[in-house]
Amino acid sequence: MGAITPVGNGAKAFWENLIAGQCGVDRITLFDSSGLPCRIGAEIKNFCITDHIPPKLARETDRFMHFALVTAAEALNGSGLQVGSADPYRVGVVFGTSAGGLTTVTDAQTNFMSKARYRVNPHFMSKMLPNLAAGHIAIRHGFKGPSLTIATACATGTDVVGIAMSILQTGAADVILAGASDSLYCQLVFAGLCSARAMSTRNDEPAKASRPFDRQRDGMVMGEGAGTVVLETLDHARRRNAPIWGELIGYANCGDGFHAMAPQPDGKGEIYCMREALTGAGLGPQEIDYINAHGTSTPQGDRVETLAIKEVFGPRAYQIPVSSIKGATGHMIAAAGIIELIASLKAINQSIIPPTINYDEPDPECDLNYVPNHARHLSINTVMSNSFGFGGQNASIVVRKI
C-alpha cells in the first residue's frame, strides 16, 4: 500500500500520525482564498515531486498525477512484486479521480484569457486528462494489462478496489494496482462548493473544522492526496510469498437515484449497499468488528449514514466501533475511500481503531460509538468501509484478516 495524505506522506507516517490524533487541516496556501467563505483546507505538506520522479516528467504531469505515481511506487515496493519477472499483460491498473487535472485547466484558462493569444502548454492535454494517472503508472512500470479510470465522485476510492476485484475474479489479470488521487485546490472548485453550502467556514479554528458526527459540524473540509494498493489473487500472492495485509471478501455499489448533491434522507441507498456488501462477503451483521465510516462532517450526510448503519446492524450498531478519519485528513474526495481502506487494513493488522477527532459534543441524531478523539486498542478480524458520493454514489467494501 502507498499513501500521500494531509497527515503524512507514506503509509507508515500516515498511520502513525492518524492514530496519534493529528490533524492536517490548516489555512490554504496553494491559492489566494481571501475572498472566499472557506479559507481552510487539508493540503499535502513537505512534498517535492522531483524527489521521486525526473524533473521533466514532473513538468509534464499534473499534481494529482504526482500523488498517483508516488503512491503506486510505494505500494509496488512494499508488495515485493518483481516487475520484470511478471507477465506485463497480467498486471493491470485501475485508478480513479473525480476531475483529473482540473487545476491545470483553470490555470491554463486564466493564462490564455489574460494573454489573449492562441498558445497553451504543449503538455496541456496530457496533464488534464483523468486517465493519464493510470496511463503514467503503466508507462513507468511497463504494465500492459487491464487499464481503467473510474470517476464516481467521493465513492471512487472504494469503487476502484471493487472493480479491480471483479477483474481478478474473471481471470483477466493476476495483479491490479488499484488507487485514486485528487487535488482540486483552485478558487473555482472552492467557490462552487461554498455556493452549494458543502464547506465548513470555521476559518478561525482550522484544526477543529472537520468534526464528523459532532453536533457543531458545519460542513466538509477539502483534502487532497492519493492512495494505492496492490491487489492480487490469493494463489498468485501465495506462490510468490507476498506480504498479505488482508483479504477483500465483499463489495457493493448502487445509486440513490435521488439528488445530485444530497443523500436520500431515509438512507435507502446506503442501507442497500451495505447489505449487499455483507451478502457478497457471506457475512451477517454480527460479524463486522469495525466500520470505517464515510463521515464527511456535513450535517445531513453524517445523520443519514448513522441512520443507515442502525438499520443494517440493528441493536448491534451501538456496540460496533464506528470512526471517520476525515476529521484528520479532510475529505480527499476520490482518494478518500482508498485511504480509508488502507486505514482499515492497518487497523486489522495492528489491532488499533483510528479515532474520530474533534468529536466534542454528541448529536442526538448521531448516537453511535464513534471512537471519539483517541485511538482504541481492539482485536479486529473484519471491517466494513463505506464511501458515499455526490450523485448518490454508494460503495461499501468488506475486508478481513488472513
Active site residues: 154, 294, 331
What does residue 236 show for φ and ψ, rounded to 5 degrees? -65, -40
**CB-CB contact of 314 with 321 (8 Å):** no
How many C-beta atoms lie closer than 10 Å to residue 169's C-beta? 9
Q: Show the beta-strand stretches assigned E in 297-380.
A: 322-323, 352-353, 376-377
- CA 386 to mean position of chain CA atoms: 10
**CB-CB contact of 281 with 373 (8 Å):** no
C-alpha cell at 277: 456488501
Residues in the chain: 402
Sheet with 393-400, edge to edge strand ranges:
247-255, 393-400, 382-389, 290-292, 322-323
Widest CA span of the chain, in angstroms?
A: 65
Helix (H) or strand (E) holding 8: strand 8-9
CA distance 59 to 343: 31
**CB-CB contact of 357 with 373 (8 Å):** yes
CA distance 46 to 61: 19
First to last CA, the chain: 16
